[in-house]
Structure 1
Amino acid sequence: MPTSTSRRGLLFGAAAVSTGALLTACTSNEPKETGNDQADVPVADDKPGKKVTIGFAGPQADHGWLNAINVNARERAKKYKDVTLEITEGSNDTAAQIGQIDTLINKKVDVLVILPADGKAMTQAGLKAMRAGIPVVNLDRIFASPQAYRCWIGGDNYGMGLNAGHYIGEKLKDKKNAKVIELAGLDNLELTKQRTEGFDAALKNYPNIKKVARQAADFTVESGQAKMSQLLQAQKSFDALWNHDDDQGVGALRAIKQAGRDDFLMVGGAGALSAFQEIKAGKGVLQATVLYPPTMAASAIDLARALGQGKGVSGMAEFEIPSSLTLYSAVVTKDNVDEYMPTGFK
């Protein structure tokens, strides 16, 4: 997931359910019309165009969100008769993934979509592909050099924290001396720091609220349960919890139920199906989750296809696709959960 430099990009005000659809509707194989009558007409992108082979080097599916990335890429490619997807096994080992990318380069794919195991460490792989004349769509974890990719698309970690903080802030704005706690992800990751920074920035708008505890987990069910148990033992009374990740949130909810606690509200992160179902049921502490949409992989396939076919994005004046797309971290609650349910990952 990206470093803070990713936030320089275009902010898309589209949530997970609409991001891919927007790109699908926005690219076109049809000749551009120059007359004013055609200027504002959206063009569907379901007609076959130039055949494009897309190489996809994704992550090892050892986490619900990472598995959803691979699934979204595969399913999106199937929708296009003019796209052939060359997909690697997926690896969290930098050396192994570099080898996989070398194989895709040697196969002379038209475009590469890469979610690197480590963006900084794999920058040379992106540079190698670009120098070989293969445009790269850098997915989420950003390369250290903009020369290593043609387009970056990913989530907004700072925005996740910001929106989670504002949601909790609005819920507690009338409560005196409100207390919140935070169950973070891996603290050695830049994305975790960004999520906390966004959360803290939002809470500054609510002087009645104080963050009284923060505990880092490992983005796993087991760590979520263990760390949440520790927080519950240390904090006998608080009003809200923000959990960075819905996978570890499964464990956190187990700990909460085992402790018999229901005296606070909980906000999750990412957009797992289990979180959506819990929110819809409305019987527990989980009231909302803030998206980090894995549909970005589907949109990356859309962008790669557009690059391979030399297309731009309709609705924008430019002839080329943007160099950067930052997805919006929508807040999913009981009021809108049905809309997002199809995008939930397992």
Structure 2
Amino acid sequence: MPETSRRGMLFGTAAISAGALLTACTSNEPAKKETPAANNQPAAADDKPGKPVTIGFAGPQADHGWLAAINSNAKSRAEKYSEVTLDITEGSNDTAAQIGQVETLINKKVDVLVILPTDGKALTQVGLKAMRAGIPVINLDRIFASPQAYRCYIGGDNYGMGVSAGNYIGEKLKGKANAKVIELAGIDALELTQQRSQGFKDALKNYPNIELVARQAADFTVESGQAKMAQLLQAQSSFDALWNHDDDQGVGALRAIQQAGRKDFLMVGGAGAKSAMDAIKADNSVVKATVLYPPTMAASAIDLARALGQAKGIGGLAELEIPASVTLFSAVVDKTNVDQYLPTGFS
């Protein structure tokens, strides 16, 4: 799962379609001088073909439903543009291998690079290398250690996920005295997990009737979700709500819950998997909501890369350049809006 930093301004987008609506922008000095778009030129969000652009795409191995959806969104978005060629590498969780793949794309002289690094800090130098070679970089989700290593950053809001989950649960339990909640987190070694947990704790401060009574960290897998959830259920005979950071591990968590015959609490997931949305729509389990961390960001990264390659701005913005940073909004999906978001759910 992705690791991000809450850097700069936040930019709200809805994950309703593969093309995100960008609502704010900042500026960042690119490594190579770009020719501003004339006001009468079509924006990158338009479907009218522009000059040919080759986009190099390098991401980690798709060993998780969200990462597989990242690759799928990038490919399908690129296919919508007749003038875009996507040169996509074979995903790898080996840092050295991914650095080599990016260097190969640099040597091919692609027009723009989209990089979702296995480790943002470890790949910062190769991002800098690309920028210095005059190839602008779209840094996707896991952020580089230096803003000079990318022209534009686009990613999710991990802290915001925690806040959204906490506020949703808080509103559901605000009338209950001495309410208890538990948390099934991701990998504690990751900054993203710490950010999600901090956002959740901060949101719960607004609800003095609610106490966080237990927390377990899992590994973003079905197996770990089931094992850690079983431990939580054994330790906590009674509680009112569960926030699970990740819908993939949530599949295992739900198995443990069903095996224990527990129905006495509500469960909020994270990321926006189709399995979670199907459960929300069916409304026959403890799963009542999920907080989005939309993989459609990869499709938006292709839009941004196309814009850079064609020296265009973004539809809906007055600026002649693309933003320097885009952070997606962590929307809550429940039974009131699940039909709207269901097409974006990933397997």
Fold-level similarity (TM above 0.5): yes
* SS of the residue 2:54 aligns to: strand
CA distance in 1, matches of 2:312, 2:267: 43
CA distance in 2, matches of 1:97, 1:229: 36
Q: Counterparts of 1:1-346 in structure 2 under 5 Å?
A: 1-4=2-5, 6-12=6-12, 14-18=13-17, 20-22=19-21, 32-33=39-40, 45-346=46-347
Letter in 2 for 1:16: A
| Greater per-residue helix proportion | 1
CA distance in 2, matches of 1:191, 1:244: 10
1:37 corresponds to: none
Matched residues, number: 333
CA distance in 2, matches of 1:45, 1:250: 38
How far the C-alpha of 1:122 sits from its partner, in A, is: 0.6
Letter in 2 for 1:251: G
How far the C-alpha of 1:22 sits from its partner, in A, is: 2.8
Contact 1:59 1:70 in 2 (8 A): no
CA distance in 2, matches of 1:212, 1:111: 48
Show structure 1 runs of 5+ residues with no match: 24-28, 35-40
* SS of the residue 2:239 aligns to: coil
Q: 1:249 to 1:11 in 2, by over 3 A?
A: same
CA distance in 2, matches of 1:336, 1:283: 17
* SS of the residue 1:293 aligns to: coil
CA distance in 1, matches of 2:4, 2:345: 25
How far the C-alpha of 1:72 sits from its partner, in A, is: 0.4
Q: 1:42 to 1:59 in 2, by over 3 A?
A: closer
How far the C-alpha of 1:335 sits from its partner, in A, is: 1.0
CA distance in 1, matches of 2:220, 2:10: 28
How far the C-alpha of 1:19 sits from its partner, in A, is: 6.3
Letter in 2 for 1:339: Q
Contact 1:219 1:248 in 2 (8 A): yes
Residue by residue over 1:283-331, the C-alpha shift from the partner in whole angstroms, topping out at 9 and shown as x without a partner, is 0000000000000000000000000000112332321111000000000
Q: 1:297 to 1:44 in 2, by over 3 A?
A: closer
State the TM-score, normalizing by the size of structure 1: 0.93
CA distance in 2, matches of 1:246, 1:93: 25
State the TM-score, normalizing by the size of structure 2: 0.93
2:32 corresponds to: none
CA distance in 2, matches of 1:80, 1:205: 46
How far the C-alpha of 1:53 sits from its partner, in A, is: 0.1
* SS of the residue 1:22 aligns to: coil
Larger deviation: 335-344 or 261-270? 335-344
CA distance in 2, matches of 1:223, 1:163: 24
